[in-house]
Amino acid sequence: MIEVESLNKTFKVSKRNAGVFAAVKSLFNPKYTTVRALEDVSFKIDEGEIVGYIGPNGAGKSTTIKIISGILVPDSGKCNILGLTPWKNRINHVKNIGVVFGQRSQLWWDVPVIDSFHLLKDIYKIPTKVFKDNLDLLTSTLDISSILTTPVRQLSLGQQMRCEIAASLLHNPKILFLDEPTIGLDAVSKIAVRNFIKNINKEKNVTVILTTHDMSDIEALADRIILIGKGRILLDGSLTELKNRFATHKTLTVDFKENTEDINIEGTTILSKSTERLTLSVDLDKIKASEVISSLSKELENIDLSVDSRPIEEIIVELYKEYQI
């Protein structure tokens, strides 16, 4: 469904020193440097997948999304999305895709939301019946019926994001590109947006590419992740595989009746310790969590404990370190 092959993209950036003199000098003698935003980027995505496209700041995520949505033209490389090349067949391509840039609005700022929706109906030439059905469905599932007549600039970030998502889906796209869709949202709105994305993927089989720095978005939505760093694809695989690869440690938090004795269990490292609480990192190659628990229960009274796997954020930090990005 989506085939990207050897995309390369560079940007020419003007370079000058600070100060008025340098500004004037650069007017007459401009100097440029080249930023390599994408280098040999390739991947394939099948219909119905939700893929998390992740990487640190400046890695090349937005550049990729802009190219595959037809906004930017790469220096070289191929891209085939439902049989079309985005930057060559823009008009037909945009009918197949919905795009949400969390940091930029596709709605008209000063007009009521519903007017923007009607403008999109005309732009995409959405048949009246399809538009009406989608509008009904989207307004009820995204809970935006009460704000349809409000100008976008008067909406909160969460309300605006729900409207953006509705706007991107009015024309029944088969693919949705989401760039930071939950940025700045409160916990309730985040969960609402995530649930909605999950539902349209399940019920309408919409393929989703999601870029985000919020790893709980990735954990909640994506089955597969593609990691990009310094413009290159570094890893492409399932989230479960990735978690298993890094599942070498568990964190054990133990609350107990006041105790001042030293506690040393081989294969564990103390992360924090007070007279009533101990947090240990357990190296699963050396000792089982159950063995640690049974040793602790011999030494401590009234214990209450929790065992946690490594949070996804830590795994991603570890990955960034491993790839030096």
> Which residues of the shown chain bind ligand ATP in the complex (CB under 6 A)?
11, 13, 35, 37, 55, 57-63
Burial annotation 201-215 (CB, 10 A radius, 16+ → b, else e): beeeebbbbbbbbbb
What is the closest distance, in whole angstroms, from the C-beta atom of residue 318 to ligand ATP in the complex? 19
**For ligand ATP, the closer CB: 41 or 167:** 41
**For ligand ATP, the closer CB: 11 or 124:** 11
What is the closest distance, in whole angstroms, from the C-beta atom of residue 229 to ligand ATP in the complex? 9
**For ligand ATP, the closer CB: 65 or 252:** 65
What is the closest distance, in whole angstroms, from the C-beta atom of residue 7 to ligand ATP in the complex? 12
What is the closest distance, in whole angstroms, from the C-beta atom of residue 200 to ligand ATP in the complex? 24
Neighbouring residues of 201: CB distance < 8 A, sequence distance ≥ 6: 48, 50, 207, 208
**For ligand ATP, the closer CB: 155 or 226:** 226
Please give the full DSSP string across 216-272, using - where no structure is assigned: HHHHHH-SEEEEEETTEEEEEEEHHHHHHHTTTEEEEEEE-S---S----TTEEEEE
Rg, the chain, Cα only: 25
**How many whole angstroms separate alpha carbon 198 and alpha carbon 181?**
13
Q: Is 19 exposed, middle or buried (0-12, 13-18, 19+ CB in 10 A)?
A: exposed
Furthest C-alpha separation in the chain? 79
What is the closest distance, in whole angstroms, from the C-beta atom of residue 71 to ligand ATP in the complex? 11
**For ligand ATP, the closer CB: 183 or 303:** 183
**How many whole angstroms separate alpha carbon 49 and alpha carbon 300?**
48
What is the closest distance, in whole angstroms, from the C-beta atom of residue 9 to ligand ATP in the complex? 8
**For ligand ATP, the closer CB: 64 or 159:** 64
